[in-house]
Amino acid sequence: MSLAANRVNNSSLRSAPWNNLLYWLYVTIKREIEISYAFMESNFDAAFVPFPIFATASLLHRKGTYEEVVSSLTNTLLYGFFFYYSTELANNADGGTIEDEINKPNRPIVQSQTTVAAAKLRFYLASAMWLLLSYILDVYIWSLLWIAVLVSHYLLRASRIGPAKDLCIVLGVTSQLMACWKLGGSDMHDGWRWPVSMHRWD
């Protein structure tokens, strides 16, 4: 075998592990995106859409500039994604597999695409990333409140107690709207009128 052929073979052997690693990363990321979408697809309108709407209301209230609108809405969409993702992970990790088999048969745990333990692990990781982002955006108080609601509502099963479930909903809506209002940059005192009005309406 010629020297040139040996060099080609050696180069192929060296590149093979990298190719395998890249392929593994591609498959893993693709699968995670698909599972994340399956976790999140059922409640998109209720859990995610209010974020850009309420942040936009805050921006309009203070007459934000174009640059501020772009920056604020970008942060809001990223923040809203983690809010929504952590919520759906906690919801799925609640373990209501029998109920989901009837009402939401497309959920990943029901489809055996993942497990309750894996969903809980994703919840802890997503919550940690969300808290870090919240700290950077200075809305971590509202994120901590929401995570406390999620843990109480789903993992500690407070949702089975009527008044506790209602309280979780009130605190959850408040944390969602107030974080959006602050991300929009308006005065927080003005923002309180919205959740208070909504809770009175309920």
pLDDT in tens, 72-111: 999 999 998 888 888 888 888 776 566 666 677 777 888 8
- Which pLDDT does position 5 carry in this prediction? 46
pLDDT of residue 8: 43
Closest CA to 57 of 185, 163, 150: 185
15 or 119, which is more confident?
119
| Residue 109 DSSP code | T
Confidence category of residue 131, pLDDT binned at 50, 70, 90: very high
The predicted pLDDT at position 25 comes to 86
Q: What is the mean pLDDT of the chain?
A: 80
The model's pTM: 0.77
Query: What pLDDT is recorded for position 120?
Result: 87
What was the pLDDT predicted at 100?
67
Residue 29 reports pLDDT greater than 50: yes
Q: Where are the beta strands (DSSP E) in the chain?
A: none
- Structural domains of the chain in order of their starting residue, each with its CATH number: 43-201 (1.10.357.140)
Give the mean pLDDT of 113-137.
Answer: 90
Q: Over 70: is that where the pLDDT of 192 sits?
A: yes
Share of the chain above pLDDT 90, in %: 21
Positive/negative CA dihedral, 183, 189, 192, 193? negative
**Average pLDDT for residues 48-63, to the nearest whole number?**
89
pLDDT recorded at residue 99? 65
Does 10 have pLDDT greater than 80? Answer: no
Q: Within 13 A of 112's CA, how many CA atoms are on the CB side?
A: 0
Q: Is 30 left (phi over 0), alpha (psi -120 to 50) or beta?
A: alpha
Does residue 141 have a pLDDT over 60?
Answer: yes
Helix and strand numbers, DSSP H then E, in the chain:
10, 0
Computed on alpha carbons and rounded to an integer, the radius of gyration of the chain in Å comes to: 22
Rounded CA-CA distance 39/92 in Å is: 7
Alpha-carbon distance of 29 to 17, in angstroms, equals: 18
pLDDT at 110: 81
Contact between residue 146 and residue 19 where contact means Cβ atoms under 8 Å apart: no
Question: Residue 159 above 70 pLDDT?
Answer: no
